[in-house]
Amino acid sequence: MSRHHYAQGPQDLATLDSVLSKSGLEFMRDIIDGHIAGPPIGQALGFRPIVAEEGTVTFEGTPEFRTMNPLGTVHGGWYGTILDSCMACAVQTTLKAGQIYTTLEYKVNIIRSIPVGTTVHAVGTVQHSGRSTGVAIGEIRGSDDGRLYATGSTTCIVMDGPKRG
């Protein structure tokens, strides 16, 4: 598995034309390599893609104080957002140039609380990628000890992108 490292910097967000002109795998690798800025949600919540191969994407994240709920634990939305990201981006790696996708639904099972400041890896793996749907599963594990914190599943709609002029 080749590793592509995420580069942070003042890159521009992707345009629809840039998304449609590349395969989904090429697009994900451009984000990881720093040629295209990653989505702002990753910066806001403290996670980023670090590896993309066909059918699998790994995100790395570290929940911080700002991701806590009123009870003092990591908010369930953080688990959902990083899992949605890794699973949907795994589906994206299977798309041809000109195709787009969006999440139709996803499910999250939180197994245990992630201690604030713990770095985790969220890995999304495609189970099915077809003409109109993509299905993937995901796991959040501690990057140092491999401890399982949450699992998830998603269904994405796959579509042809709008015709470019």
Per-residue model confidence as pLDDT tens digits over 119-160: 999 999 999 999 999 999 999 999 999 999 999 999 999 999
Q: Is residue 84 part of a domain?
A: yes
- 149: tokens are 């914190």
Q: Is residue 10 part of a domain?
A: no
Q: Is residue 22 part of a domain?
A: yes
Q: Is residue 137 part of a domain?
A: yes
Q: Number of structural domains, the chain? A: 1
CATH of the domain at 100: 3.10.129.10
What would the pLDDT profile of 25-77 be if each residue is shown by its tens digit?
A: 999 999 999 999 988 999 999 999 999 999 999 999 999 999 999 999 999 99
Task: Specify the pTM.
Answer: 0.90
- 3-state DSSP call for residue 128? strand
Q: Is residue 4 part of a domain?
A: no
- 80: tokens are 């959902």
Name the CA radius of gyration of the chain, rounded.
15
**Among 98, 91, 77, residue whose Cα is nearest residue 136:** 91
Chain-centroid distance of CA 22 in Å reads: 18
Q: Is residue 6 part of a domain?
A: no
Domain that holds residue 113: 16-160
Q: Is residue 1 part of a domain?
A: no
